[in-house]
Amino acid sequence: MFVVGCSVSPLTKRAVTFSTAATAAATDTANAYQMVEDTYYQAQVASLVVSFDENGFDPNSIKAFMPEKDMEARTEVIEGLHEYAELLAEVSGDAPVTALNTQTQALGTALQNFSTDNLKSWAPPAADVNLAVTALNGLGRILIERKRSRALPGILDQMKKPIEDICALLQEDIGDPRKSGLRNQLKNSYAELIRKQQQYIHKNEASMSAADKRAEIEKLPKLAASQAQGDRVLAKTQRELADMAKAHTALAETAHQKESPTFRVLVAQLARDGEQLNDVYRSLPTK
Amino acid sequence: MSDDPNVDPQADPKAAWQAAHDALQALSDDLKDAYDQAKTQEQRDILDDIATAVDDALTTLNQEDMASRTVDIQAAASDLKDAVDKLTKLKGQLDAIAGAFAKAAQVIGSIDKAVSTLSSFIKI
């Protein structure tokens, strides 16, 4: 058995914590676009149902809310955030040290397992092999830590402004329920869904049974509740993006500090945002 | 096109866009109230048609607003790519440290195997 030590810097621990929360924030942001897209689609289908007898079905009439080129740019930046967060975790986490442990142990085993008698005769004693392997492992860890502590602060610092800009742009995309963005589009799509549902009831009530009419009317308050829930989720996603920018800035600015209470508070808030949103997005109906 | 006479679209396109959006949003909300108060199906059909057209116009404005940020988002994606490349390089350097030990273990294993083969061949 070879002895291996442990020395992970505070920055690398913080980077791993940030990366987990940032990955969740990126997923929630992708879900925000998808939720608005799904609702826009449902509103178009509701409109088709009401106007079908008069206008029939034109396959080109159903369109995506986000034009392809604009959505591609968002997808690319969200995937970039995912990749950035994942790589940050990979280089900051235990993986390089675990790989080092595995390989140094393999080296020790190779030294001890000479199969030929000729080599066995000059193979070092097991105790010496253990000592050498432990020393080599320690050296490897120092090299890993040195490389990380030299490169990571620079990368984090370089990404401070881009991450702030990305979060601000995505928050602007989410917008305001009355003024702009995804929140306004969601509000208007639900207004259309509700109006078209009312039109459907009024146009068909003569041929509906009382139970059918009741079932159709019961959909109206459900739509209103979904609208309110959807807007709350988008508002939370907006806050999550703001928290992600703040946590990343704190991570970059405290790269050389042993303790960072500010970062701890910010990343805990970001993690809470992510936990709450993840469940809500998964529970929302899709098209 | 702004409905607000105080906003010059040339001087401040964002404010002009917002003024147009605000006007249409107010109209959309008024139409919703009017629809809820309509007494006949004929009135409801007319109001629904107008409201649908207003919603379409609002959607177009929201799409324009989204598109106005696309260039900045593309530039930000490019900054991210640069950071991802640097992190990938760092990951490669960290992997190489463990890789050096793997290589050493492999070389020792190969030497052992070669000596074993040679000794049985030339009976040393």
CB contact under 8 A, A155 and B101: no
pLDDT tens digit sequence for A111-159: 776 655 556 666 666 677 677 778 777 888 888 888 888 888 999 999 9
Task: Give the nearest chain A residue to B123 (CA atoms).
Answer: A118
Q: How high is the pLDDT of residue A93?
A: 78
Chain B residues with beta carbon closer than 8 angstroms to that of A47:
52
Chain B residues with beta carbon closer than 8 angstroms to that of A155:
83, 86-87, 90
* Banded pLDDT at B13 (limits 50, 70, 90): confident
pLDDT tens digit sequence for A179-219: 999 999 999 999 999 999 999 999 999 999 999 999 999 99
Residue range A52-71: average pLDDT?
Answer: 93
What is the phi/psi pair of residue A180, to 5°? -175, 175
Task: Give the nearest chain A residue to B68 (CA atoms).
Answer: A70
Q: How high is the pLDDT of residue A136?
A: 77
Q: Looking at the complex, does the CB of residue A143 fall below 8 Å from at least one CB of chain B?
A: yes
Q: What is the DSSP string of B36-100?
A: HH--SHHHHHHHHHHHHHHHHHHHHHHHHHHHHTHHHHHHHHHHHHHHHHHHHHHHHHHHHHHHH
CA-to-CA dists, residue A250 to A19, A126, B98, angstroms: 13, 48, 31
Q: How high is the pLDDT of residue A265?
A: 87
Separation in Å, CA of A279 to nearest CA in chain B: 27
* Banded pLDDT at B2 (limits 50, 70, 90): very low
Pair B28, B58: CB distance under 8 Å = yes
pTM: 0.83
A86: pLDDT strictly greater than 70: yes
Task: Give the nearest chain A residue to B59 (CA atoms).
Answer: A185
Closest Cβ–Cβ partner in B21, B98, B116 for A115: B116
Rounded Cα–Cα distance for residues A206 and A212 (Å): 11
Rounded Cα–Cα distance for residues A239 and A127 (Å): 57
Q: Over pLDDT 70: what percentage of chain B? A: 75
Pair A278, A24: CB distance under 8 Å = yes
Q: Enter the tokens of residue B101.
A: 């030990």
- Show Cβ contacts of residue A177 under 8 Å, excluding neighbours closer than 6 positions: A183, A184, A186, A187, A231
Pair A277, A241: CB distance under 8 Å = no
Rounded Cα–Cα distance for residues A42 and A22 (Å): 30
* CB contacts < 8 A (A, B): 189
Pair A81, B76: CB distance under 8 Å = no
Per-residue burial over B32-58, b = 16 or more CB atoms within 10 Å of its CB, e = otherwise: beebeebeeeeebbebbeebbebbeeb
Task: Give the nearest chain A residue to B34 (CA atoms).
Answer: A195
- Assign B109 to helix, strand or coil: helix
A224: pLDDT strictly greater than 70: yes
Q: How high is the pLDDT of residue A278?
A: 78
Closest CA to A105 of B110, B98, B111, B114: B98
- Assign A180 to helix, strand or coil: strand
pLDDT tens digit sequence for B47-69: 999 999 999 999 999 999 999 99
Closest CA to A134 of A252, A272, A6, A280: A6
CB contact under 8 A, A166 and B80: yes
CA-to-CA dists, residue A192 to A44, A71, A136, B66, B108, angstroms: 9, 23, 68, 21, 73
Sign of the torsion formed by the C-alpha atoms of B87, B88, B91 and B92? negative
